[in-house]
């Protein structure tokens, strides 16, 4: 049987999406359902003096209006930060309460204060307009850089500082810098982004009075975690009385990891009114209240010798958490960021210091790449600047500082099991025709254009997150994954995975893995996910973990099935279990022609002794049935890596940046489905290039979101991109049996510095902040003209 792993298998999920049969949360309508509209704060920071619902209650069709008071009275818990971070001085991080409906204070535009539930959406909207809220508007804090000097947002949280965290050794770094020939320094901003999954968030909550159970359909990347949080911290219902279903979910990119206010409020309110409640975000609500990403202000320095060896690195970052710390809010700028700050280089001494601050803006949390794009942007911009200042070719300088042996004990935390960074660089250069750039630049110059080339070499820690590793860092939550493989008596297989696909193609790639492990045709394998009633528990999908963690759980569960199958076959064929071999779906007694197919074994496991065997085929100690579970906790992160090269052409008359060429050469370890991996790379690149050239979330000084619709927030479109040139090198991960590493975030991590390095190269080294819009670039071109004229 030909192996399916490694093949371009078309997706099992596609037909339903292509024929309109996808079932997203907003497509669900329940009998007798009501509609919710949230009344949200129009102010970034205010105290609520008075909230009057009398007029609204009289509005037609209103079923109920609930506020922060009722939520507090019912002791419904607030939203939480999932990871505890300790400051350098040993103190615990400081997190404010975050009630699902604000009662006393609102802290960002969009913070909900009440929910209006009515018979129809139109009636709910009309009534919501009649809710009167009297706010005392307070001065908002919106700037990341100045947040520590602003008014105190949350009582008792001095300087708006959640934590002041250090990873690394300041003294060693000082010593390294003392020995340096040269120090390269950079001040950069990692611009704030809005994830913008195309499906707006939504939920439908349904309380069943007979079973006293709440079913919540919601747009989640991790329904089991949502249930846990809503039950343990939200006090919405005990876990066995709360079912969370994340059906087809239209993209997540990190924004749907969190449990949101609306999930908790609708679930709780459904029980209060004994009816189903449906809520679907309008896009403008998504802009205001989905978690945002990035938003760092960084000063970094690299100490180097004159021949280009890196000696030391420091990174001083202020990270904006927004108004509240949410599930991955505190871990994103720390453990997902700091350990990757030194990039793919041997740097003997390094530290990362992060001050995480609160502002009156939407909460900032994990967005595709989460921490690693920010880390990579800093080090790769700095290395490129070093190459300019030292006069050493940008690729040579990188190669000079790459590790050459693996495992590579990286400066701050990670031990990288495998990789070949030089091979990746060489292949990328070849793919991009790096040598030919000089000629292409001349051609551009002849047309009056500026041309630049930019390089990034990156690695990322994926497969989030091995318990042992994260616990040694002081985090209390390891993120393993579960899988349950069950055979029907007639031989088809259902695999329940605790991870969740919202575009990642699990239904296909996971089936490819199970098909190979079990020797069952792929069409007889169904992958099921996204329903807390259908599987035990799972951590969900983010941090490029589905395959490297969830996929391995499937492999392990399949291996248990095979082990049982060997025992059963041995009993059926009167052989020793050790003599039974399994290959291509058949259990064969070695040195004989006696065999059983896995389908026959499954049948025998469920219906023992009904066919030719007189005795039960089940060995002593084995129970009937064929179903196995695995909870897989990885021993280490996985470490995808690669080199990307971009070329841009700038029209100095307009400032327009045209991305001419983009080359990505990645090492994802073993590839299960090249078609799917290609798609993941393309999508990541589009988001990364979007950050570099187009996207920016901007608040004004009063805390109003200036980019709150697709008219103002520049989403990358089809005509913004060239055809990407992508390729791979491959070193297998040594820490998991498939040798896989993860591919979902690479593009979003590597693209921003690659493109910006090219833009800045074209501009003769002038700093431009992301996104490199025509206006900023045009101004830089004017400066370039002036300085060129002076030089002449």
Of 460, 465, 462, which is closest to residue 481 (Cα–Cα)? 465
**Who contacts 405 (Cβ-Cβ below 8 Å, separation ≥6)?**
none
Taking CB under 8 A as the binding criterion, the range among 103-111, 126-134, 313-321, 670-678 that sits at the site for another protein is: 670-678
Structure tokens at 66: 């609930």
Tell me the sheet residues that pair with 351.
168, 314
Q: Indicate the residue among 19 and 32 with the shorter CB distance to another protein.
A: 19
**Who contacts 120 (Cβ-Cβ below 8 Å, separation ≥6)?**
35, 61
Shortest reach from residue 395's CB to another protein, in Å: 25
Helix ranges, 651-701 (H): 674-693
Answer for which of 36, 197, 336, 514 binds another protein (CB under 8 A) is: 197
* Rg from Cα positions in the chain: 28
State which H helix or E strand residue 562 sits in.
helix 552-573
Answer for which of 6, 17, 139, 776 binds another protein (CB under 8 A) is: 17
Check binding of 671 to another protein (CB under 8 A).
Answer: no
Shortest reach from residue 289's CB to another protein, in Å: 14
Asked whether the beta carbons of 539 and 222 are under 8 A apart, the reply is yes
Taking CB under 8 A as the binding criterion, the range among 23-31, 94-102, 419-427, 453-461 that sits at the site for another protein is: 23-31
Shortest reach from residue 73's CB to another protein, in Å: 34
First to last CA, the chain: 71
Q: Indicate the residue among 487 and 724 with the shorter CB distance to another protein.
A: 724
Of 95, 101, 94, which is closest to residue 76 (Cα–Cα)? 101
31-50 footprint of another protein as x/- string (CB under 8 A): --------------------
Q: Indicate the residue among 201 and 385 with the shorter CB distance to another protein.
A: 201
Taking CB under 8 A as the binding criterion, the range among 15-23, 386-394, 442-450, 550-558 that sits at the site for another protein is: 15-23
Spatial separation of the C-alpha atoms in residues 644 and 729, rounded to whole Å: 12
User: How would you class 496 by CB atoms within 10 Å of its CB: exposed for 0-12, middle for 13-18, buried for 19 or more?
Assistant: buried
Q: Are β-strands 310-322 and 349-358 bridged in parallel, bridged antiparallel, or unpaired?
A: parallel
Check binding of 19 to another protein (CB under 8 A).
Answer: yes
Asked whether the beta carbons of 482 and 553 are under 8 A apart, the reply is yes
Q: How many residues does the chain have?
A: 792
- Is the bond into 276 cis (omega within 30 degrees of 0)? no
Shortest reach from residue 687's CB to another protein, in Å: 7
Answer for which of 675, 730, 766, 779 binds another protein (CB under 8 A) is: 675
Q: CA 99, 105, 109, 113 torsion: positive or negative?
A: positive
Shortest reach from residue 282's CB to another protein, in Å: 5
Q: Indicate the residue among 248 and 761 with the shorter CB distance to another protein.
A: 248
Spatial separation of the C-alpha atoms in residues 496 and 223, rounded to whole Å: 13
Q: Indicate the residue among 19 and 593 with the shorter CB distance to another protein.
A: 19
Torsion-angle region of 754 (φ positive above 0: left; ψ -120 to 50: alpha; else: beta)? alpha
Q: Indicate the residue among 200 and 234 with the shorter CB distance to another protein.
A: 200
State which H helix or E strand residue 300 sits in.
strand 293-304
Structure tokens at 540: 């969900």
Asked whether the beta carbons of 243 and 533 are under 8 A apart, the reply is yes
Q: Indicate the residue among 27 and 393 with the shorter CB distance to another protein.
A: 27
Tell me the sheet residues that pair with 297.
189, 318
Spatial separation of the C-alpha atoms in residues 52 and 128, rounded to whole Å: 11
468-487 footprint of another protein as x/- string (CB under 8 A): --------------------
Shortest reach from residue 464's CB to another protein, in Å: 20
Taking CB under 8 A as the binding criterion, the range among 244-252, 453-461, 472-480, 562-570 that sits at the site for another protein is: 244-252
Check binding of 129 to another protein (CB under 8 A).
Answer: no
Check binding of 26 to another protein (CB under 8 A).
Answer: yes
Taking CB under 8 A as the binding criterion, the range among 37-45, 250-258, 375-383, 636-644 that sits at the site for another protein is: 250-258
503-522 footprint of another protein as x/- string (CB under 8 A): xxx-----------------
Check binding of 21 to another protein (CB under 8 A).
Answer: yes
Structure tokens at 745: 């975030």
Asked whether the beta carbons of 541 and 500 are under 8 A apart, the reply is yes
539-578 footprint of another protein as x/- string (CB under 8 A): ----------------------------------------
682-721 footprint of another protein as x/- string (CB under 8 A): xxxxxx---------------------xxx---x-xxx-x
The label of the residue with tokens 């459904």 reads 270
Among positions 571-590, residues that touch another protein (CB under 8 A) are: none
- Residue 59, SS3 per DSSP: coil
Answer for which of 213, 660, 678, 698 binds another protein (CB under 8 A) is: 678
Q: Indicate the residue among 248 and 365 with the shorter CB distance to another protein.
A: 248
Residue 389 has a CB neighbour count (10 Å cut-off) of 14
Answer for which of 308, 454, 463, 747 binds another protein (CB under 8 A) is: 747
Of 369, 375, 390, which is closest to residue 345 (Cα–Cα)? 375
Q: Indicate the residue among 724 and 728 with the shorter CB distance to another protein.
A: 724
Taking CB under 8 A as the binding criterion, the range among 25-33, 266-274, 511-519, 623-631 that sits at the site for another protein is: 25-33
Q: Indicate the residue among 399 and 528 with the shorter CB distance to another protein.
A: 528
Answer for which of 123, 164, 248, 667 binds another protein (CB under 8 A) is: 248
Burial 225-246 (b: 16+ CB within 10 A, else e): bbbbbbbebbebbebeebbbbb
User: How would you class 32 by CB atoms within 10 Å of its CB: exposed for 0-12, middle for 13-18, buried for 19 or more?
Assistant: exposed
Q: Indicate the residue among 565 and 747 with the shorter CB distance to another protein.
A: 747
Among positions 88-127, residues that touch another protein (CB under 8 A) are: 122
Spatial separation of the C-alpha atoms in residues 782 and 785, rounded to whole Å: 5
Spatial separation of the C-alpha atoms in residues 210 and 718, rounded to whole Å: 51
Shortest reach from residue 276's CB to another protein, in Å: 16
Taking CB under 8 A as the binding criterion, the range among 173-181, 198-206, 374-382, 515-523 that sits at the site for another protein is: 198-206
Structure tokens at 513: 């893995």
Taking CB under 8 A as the binding criterion, the range among 161-169, 281-289, 324-332, 374-382 that sits at the site for another protein is: 281-289
Q: CA 409, 642, 176, 341 torsion: positive or negative?
A: negative
Q: Indicate the residue among 249 and 257 with the shorter CB distance to another protein.
A: 249
Spatial separation of the C-alpha atoms in residues 572 and 569, rounded to whole Å: 5
Residue count at the site for another protein (CB under 8 A)?
A: 58
Q: Indicate the residue among 417 and 647 with the shorter CB distance to another protein.
A: 647
Shortest reach from residue 26's CB to another protein, in Å: 7
Q: Indicate the residue among 575 and 755 with the shorter CB distance to another protein.
A: 755
Among positions 714-743, residues that touch another protein (CB under 8 A) are: 715, 717-719, 721, 723-724
Answer for which of 31, 198, 210, 446 binds another protein (CB under 8 A) is: 198
C-alpha distance from residue 614 to each of 195, 412, 491, 572, 589 (Å): 62, 63, 21, 10, 20
Spatial separation of the C-alpha atoms in residues 37 and 115, rounded to whole Å: 6
Applying CB under 8 A, the residues found at the interface with another protein are 10-11, 13-24, 26-27, 29, 122, 196-200, 248-251, 253, 280, 282-284, 502-505, 675-676, 678-679, 681-687, 709-711, 715, 717-719, 721, 723-724, 747
């Amino acid at each position: 049987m030909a192996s399916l792993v490694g093949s371009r298998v078309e997706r099992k999920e596609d037909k339903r999406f292509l024929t309109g049969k996808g079932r997203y949360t907003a497509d669900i309508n329940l009998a007798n359902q009501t509609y919710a509209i949230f009344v949200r704060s129009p102010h970034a920071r205010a105290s609520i003096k008075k909230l009057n619902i009398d007029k609204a209650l009289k509005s037609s069709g209103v079923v109920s209006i609930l506020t922060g008071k009722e939520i507090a009275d019912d002791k419904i818990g607030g939203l939480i930060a999932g990871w505890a971070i300790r400051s350098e001085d040993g103190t615990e991080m400081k997190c404010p309460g975050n009630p699902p409906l604000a009662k006393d204070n609102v802290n960002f535009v969009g913070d909900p204060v009440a929910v209006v539930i009515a018979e129809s959406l139109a009636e709910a909207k009309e009534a919501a307009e009649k809710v009167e809220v009297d706010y005392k508007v307070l001065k908002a804090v919106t700037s990341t850089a100045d947040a520590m000097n602003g008014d105190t947002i949350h009582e008792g949280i001095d300087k708006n500082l959640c934590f002041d965290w250090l990873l690394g050794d300041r003294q060693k770094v000082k010593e390294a810098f003392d020995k340096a020939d040269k120090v390269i320094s950079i001040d950069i901003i990692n611009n704030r982004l809005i994830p913008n999954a195309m499906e707006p968030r939504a939920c439908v909550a349904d309380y069943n009075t007979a079973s006293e159970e709440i079913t919540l359909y919601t747009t989640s990347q991790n329904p089991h975690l949502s249930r846990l949080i809503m039950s343990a911290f939200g006090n919405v219902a005990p876990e066995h009385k709360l079912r969370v279903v994340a059906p087809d979910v239209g993209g997540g990119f990190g924004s749907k990891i969190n449990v949101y206010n609306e999930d908790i409020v609708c679930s709780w309110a459904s029980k209060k009114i004994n009816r189903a409640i449906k809520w679907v975000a309008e896009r403008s609500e998504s802009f205001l209240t989905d978690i945002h990403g990035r938003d760092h202000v960084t000063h970094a320095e690299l100490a180097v010798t004159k021949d280009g060896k890196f000696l030391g690195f420091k990174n001083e970052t202020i990270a904006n958490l927004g108004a509240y710390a949410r599930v991955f809010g505190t871990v994103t700028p720390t453990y997902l960021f700091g350990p990757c700050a030194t990039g793919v280089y041997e740097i003997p001494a390094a530290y990362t210091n992060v001050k995480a601050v609160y502002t009156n803006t939407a909460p900032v949390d994990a967005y595709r790449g989460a921490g690693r794009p920010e880390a990579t942007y800093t080090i790769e911009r700095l290395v490129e600047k070093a190459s300019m200042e030292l006069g050493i070719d940008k690729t040579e300088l990188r190669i000079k500082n790459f590790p050459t042996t693996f495992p590579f004990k990286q400066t701050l935390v990670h031990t990288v099991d495998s990789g070949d960074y030089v091979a990746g660089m060489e292949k990328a250069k070849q793919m991009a025709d790096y040598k030919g750039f000089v000629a292409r630049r001349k051609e551009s110059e002849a047309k009056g254009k500026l041309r630049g080339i930019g390089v990034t070499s990156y690695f990322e820690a994926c497969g989030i997150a091995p318990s042992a590793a994260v616990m040694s860092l002081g985090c209390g939550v390891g993120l393993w994954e579960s899988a349950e493989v069950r055979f029907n008596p007639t031989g088809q297989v259902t695999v329940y995975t605790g991870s969740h696909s919202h575009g990642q193609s699990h239904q296909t790639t996971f089936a490819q893995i199970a098909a190979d492990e079990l020797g069952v045709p792929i069409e007889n394998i169904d992958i099921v996910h996204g329903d807390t009633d259908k599987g035990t528990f799972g951590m969900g999908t983010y941090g490029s973990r589905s395959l490297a963690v969830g996929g391995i759980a499937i492999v392990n569960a399949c291996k248990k099935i095979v082990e049982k199958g060997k025992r059963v076959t041995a009993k059926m064929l009167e052989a020793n279990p050790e003599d039974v071999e399994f290959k291509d779906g058949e259990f064969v007694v070695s040195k004989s022609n006696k065999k059983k197919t896995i389908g026959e074994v499954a049948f025998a496991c469920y219906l023992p002794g009904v066919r030719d065997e007189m005795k039960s085929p089940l060995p002593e100690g084995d129970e009937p049935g064929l179903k196995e579970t695995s909870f897989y906790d990885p021993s280490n992160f996985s470490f995808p890596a690669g080199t990307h090269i971009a070329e841009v052409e700038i029209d100095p008359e307009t400032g327009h940046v045209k991305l001419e060429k983009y080359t990505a050469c990645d090492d994802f370890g073993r590839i299960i489905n090249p078609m799917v991996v290609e798609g993941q790379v393309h999508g990541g690149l589009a988001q990364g290039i979007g950050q570099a050239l187009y996207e920016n979330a901007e608040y004004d000084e009063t805390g109003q979101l200036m980019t709150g619709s697709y008219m103002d927030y520049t989403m990358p479109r089809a005509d913004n991109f060239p055809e990407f040139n992508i390729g791979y090198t491959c070193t297998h991960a040594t820490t998991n049996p498939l040798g896989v590493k993860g591919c979902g975030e690479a593009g979003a991590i590597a693209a921003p510095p690659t493109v910006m390095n090219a833009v800045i190269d074209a501009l003769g080294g002038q700093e431009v902040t992301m996104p490199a819009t025509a206006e900023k670039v045009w101004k830089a071109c004017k400066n370039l003209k002036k300085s060129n004229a002076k030089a002449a």
